[in-house]
Chain A
Amino acid sequence: MTTTTPSTSSTPTGASEAHGRPHPTAHPSPRQAAHRPWETRPGIPLPRIVDVELRKSFDTRAGFWLLASIGLAALLTTGAVIAWAPASEFSYSQFTLAIGVPMSVILPIIAVLSVTAEWSQRTGLATFTLVPHRGRVLLAKALAVALVALAATAVAFAVGALGNVVGASIAAIDTVWDQGLADVGYFALGNTLLLLVGFTLGALIRNSPGAIVAYMVYAFVAPGLLAFLAFSQAWFSDARPWVDPKFNQDALLQGGFTAQDWSHLALTTIVWLVLPLTVAVVNLLRSEVK
């Protein structure tokens, strides 16, 4: 699912560690005044920071259980679909859509915590002194978050396929394979955007409970209110795709976008994701790490 290794790993894990520096010892030889290692030292490559950030997302108790709950929730929702949905509705897309629901709750929390922990748990002191370029660390975090979205997509489609086969054989019907590669792309993009919303809220608020509550409002409270408004006011029903980002992100999971759908998505993403993210990053680069 992810590239992280268990926390007890004691073996070197790859090429990122094989660089030319002599092995340091606890008792170094006397240094010379003219010794200037930093002038020739290679910098820290971005993939290594991404790897470390990915590891940091899952090496805490909270991270581990969030990760485990993604797999668990995927299996549970699949079981629920088989148990309670009418057999005539069994199809591949039915399963992946159902699996996508708990994922849209859990994945953004991972993204939120990846940013807020640096402040709430004060790990930023270590992180930003080991890599004194906050922009690079943030970029690495965003890339790590995107990798999580891709891995989650793979899980959703794998477990969904399994559920589809099992469900059809239990109900003794033909399996319906109604999705293609494009749908995988829609699903991955939808999840990535949701994770980036969590990332943005984390970077804006920099406080774990605050940012998680903000995401819950974004993902569950606001859509309900907006749906009610759209239901009661015809003008808003027409305007909603142009102003409601979550509406478009949910639509992404269903796939089949038209050119107009893409413009809805692009506009709401720029206004509700790109602009706040820019503000958050600028604030974060200037702020003091305490």
Chain B
Amino acid sequence: MIAVEEVTRTYGDFTAVNDVTFTAQPGRVTGFLGPNGAGKSTTMRIIVGLTSPTTGTARVLGRRFADLPNPGLDVGVLLDASAQHAGRTGREVLTVARKTMGLPASRLEEMFDLVGLTEAEAARRVGDYSLGMRQRLGLAHALLGDPEVLILDEPANGLDPAGIRWMRDLLRGHADRGSTVLLSSHLLHEIEVVADDLVVIGNGRIVAQGTKAELLSAAGTQVSTRQPDQLEGALTAAGIAYTDATAPRSTNAGGLARHTLRVEADTELVGHVAHQAGVALVELRDADGAGLEEMFLELTADTQRDALTSRPEGAVA
């Protein structure tokens, strides 16, 4: 259990984290989502006591992190996989952590097996590791003390697709056994597939939070047509709310532009309305993935570094 209460952190005039409150529950994976520079990492550093909050409190397992007698056994932390001494071997990095926690040496082999680092790779210096190997080592470091809480900042960075799948299963398994898992990402898809709860942060503020199901159900239906005027008229007549979600550079085949609407109704009703109005549809589907993505882009639009001229590839995965 992680409880962040009204945490604010300022640097001079700049407010990196602004009145952030959320909890990560045991048995659930909590996704911490936001664009680069939104305050995810600062919030995580505050949780583990590396940065002190200007105001507010952060507790892990009901205590301040610094009040945990041997925190490595309760909380597994991976904030930056590259933050290891380049001149130490992977095995030595884990040995240092193992000795600090007071664990037996046999634990190392289990961890290397678990994260899929071979004997030879463990004997290499971290400076020679690829980013993916560093992430695996960082995960082994976090899991070493068999902790009840996991705090991972962008753990999928640098992992190949198989590695991402493997990590997702690992985190899922941990949560299913009752652990609290908090992981951050700026990639929506990555979080969407594994998280039970979502906390979306933008510009230092929480812009949305809830269960994934809640956030998805609000998304409705996505419908595309080349006869937008008729469809919009029919929807308005039926009293159904919608928003124009047309991508600016949509295809222009056949002379008629393809328009996309997000409609706050289920697919069956939208299909029925379109049929009644005699509108031909190009696409009709639940807006779940796309909906959350739209929400994420919308909620963070004013904090996004790049203007949204087109749908960014990275967010679709």
A-side interface residues toward B, CB under 8 Å? 7-13, 16-17, 19, 21, 23-33, 35-38, 41-44, 48-49, 51-52, 55-56, 59-63, 117, 121-126, 128-133, 286, 288-290
A21 close to B73 (CB less than 8 A): yes
Some 6 contacts from A to B, beta carbons below 8 A apart, are A8-B123, A17-B99, A23-B107, A37-B148, A38-B70, A130-B101
Interface residues of A, dominant DSSP = loop
B66 touches A132 (CB 8 A): yes
B179 touching A132 by the CB < 8 A rule? no
Are A126 and B84 closer than 8 Å at their CB atoms?
Answer: yes
- Cβ of B311 under 8 Å from chain A: no
Give the contacting residue for B103; candidates A10, A24, A29; CB below 8 A. A24
Which residues of chain A have C-beta atoms less than 8 A from B84's C-beta? 121-123, 126
How many residues from B make CB contacts under 8 Å with A?
61
Which residues of B line the A interface, CB within 8 A? 26, 45, 48-52, 61, 63, 65-66, 68-75, 77, 79-80, 82-89, 91-93, 95-97, 99-108, 110-111, 113-114, 123, 125, 141, 143, 145-146, 148, 173, 177-179
Closest A residue to B80 by beta carbon equals A125
- Nearest residue, chain B, Cβ from A120: B85
Contacts of A35 in B (CB 8 A): 148
Given A12-B104, A31-B177, A61-B125, A128:B50 Cβ within 8 A = yes
Query: Contacts of A31 on B, CB cut-off 8 Å?
Result: 26, 148, 177-179
Distance to closest chain B CB from A284 (angstroms):
13
Q: Is the CB of A17 within 8 A of B103?
A: yes
Contact A121 B85 (CB under 8 A): yes
From A19, A62, A63, A132, B68 is in contact (CB under 8 Å) with A132
Query: Are A48 and B102 touching (Cβ within 8 A)?
Result: yes
Cβ–Cβ contact A132 & B141, under 8 A: no
- Min CB distance, A33 to chain B, in Å? 7
* Given known A-B contacts A56-B96, A288-B51, A133 and B177 have beta carbons under 8 A apart: no
